[in-house]
Amino acid sequence: MRKAKYNRKRKPSKCKRPKNRTAQTIEKFIKPCHDVCTEMAAIRINRKAFYELMHKLSSRPAESGGILLGPVGTNDITHFYFDRGGACTGGSYSPDYITLNRKMREEWLPAGLDMKGFAHSHPGSLDRLTAGDMSYIKKLLSKNPDMNMFVAPIVLPNQYRINPLIISRDRMDYAQRAHFEFF
Amino acid sequence: MNVIIPPGIFFAVETYLSVNGFHYFVFDFVTQGDHIDIYCTKHPSLNGQDSSVSKTHLFSSGRICFVAGKEPRTRWEAQKRAKQWAEYFIEYRRTGKAQS
């Protein structure tokens, strides 16, 4: 009797888990945005850069951050560089501007990449840009007249969540919600 | 093509725990031209004391009131003044004695 049970042919699994798990993981972050904000501005970001960003910033306590890079002349983001040298406290992140400027001059600009923005993390559930953030972003935009918009997503490590925000040069006092477009 | 990253700080909020260790404050600093406005976004209750601006030195917007021309001009100074105000606030809620 027992032998017969073991010889029985195994039924095919009914599990409907998609084979492409990475795509599903990305959807998890962006779904709330896609549902409600079809007319929002889009942040075009490379999947690899997005993973890098989420991995680095979500695995550390707030605040930490890094620079978003992409090809000159486009708004696409293709790279994320985590700023290891930045001064991070529980309530602030100060970029290591000396290292970043040097890398920009010596590595990124010669490779055809320029700054598209900064991603940084916030404590708790504070998913908006604060006045302190805005004043630094204004400073960054004023020093870089070629940038027409600044991408400033906020990562919440506690909730493993990201809020995509952009600041356009026309309205430097207003952080606009956007959505990610992956490529 | 040139990209410049100037020195600066992305700061979320500044929290302060009172000297007696019982009260928790959250501050937000906003640069306004040549000075910095301090906003208190979280503070303990007034414990039944009068909530008028002349006594609490706190506007309904959350901005802390300073005499014109005496506002903090550096972040360090703003942090110091925020702490001083927080300690004053605790004393006021306890005793009801206001400073002018």
Report chain A residues whose CB lies below 8 A from the CB of B6: 97, 139-140, 143
Which residue ranges form the domains of chain A, and what is each CATH number? 35-182 (3.40.140.10)
**What ipTM was estimated for this complex?**
0.70
Q: Residue A32 has what pLDDT?
A: 43
C-beta atoms of B10 and A72 within 8 A: no
- Laid out side by side, the sheet with B10-11 consists of A87-88, A92-94, B10-11
Which among A119, A116, A132 is positioned nearest to A44, based on CA atoms? A116
Domain-located, residue B8: no
pTM (global) more than 0.80: no
Q: Which domain holds residue B45?
A: 14-95
**pLDDT band at B45; cut points 50, 70, 90:** very high
Q: How many structural domains comprise chain B?
A: 1
The reply to whether residue A131 touches residue B39, judged by beta carbons under 8 angstroms, is yes
CA dist B65 and B76 (Å) reads 18
Would you say residue B75 lies in a domain?
A: yes
In this structure, is residue B30 part of a structural domain? yes
Q: Is residue B54 part of a domain?
A: yes
| B51 is a domain residue | yes
The size of chain B, in residues, is 100
Distance of residue B28 Cα from the nearest chain A Cα, in angstroms: 7
Tell me: the pLDDT tens digits for A59-94? 888 888 999 999 998 889 999 999 998 888 777 888
B28 vs A131: CB contact, 8 Å cut-off?
yes
Q: Taking 50 as the threshold, does the pLDDT of residue A38 lie above it?
A: no
Q: Would an 8 Å CB–CB cutoff place A36 in contact with chain B?
A: no
For residue B26, being part of any structural domain is answered with yes
Q: Is residue B53 part of a domain?
A: yes
Asked whether residue B77 is assigned to any structural domain, the reply reads: yes
Q: CB-based contacts of A81: which residues, under 8 Å, 6+ apart?
A: A66, A67, A69, A100, A103
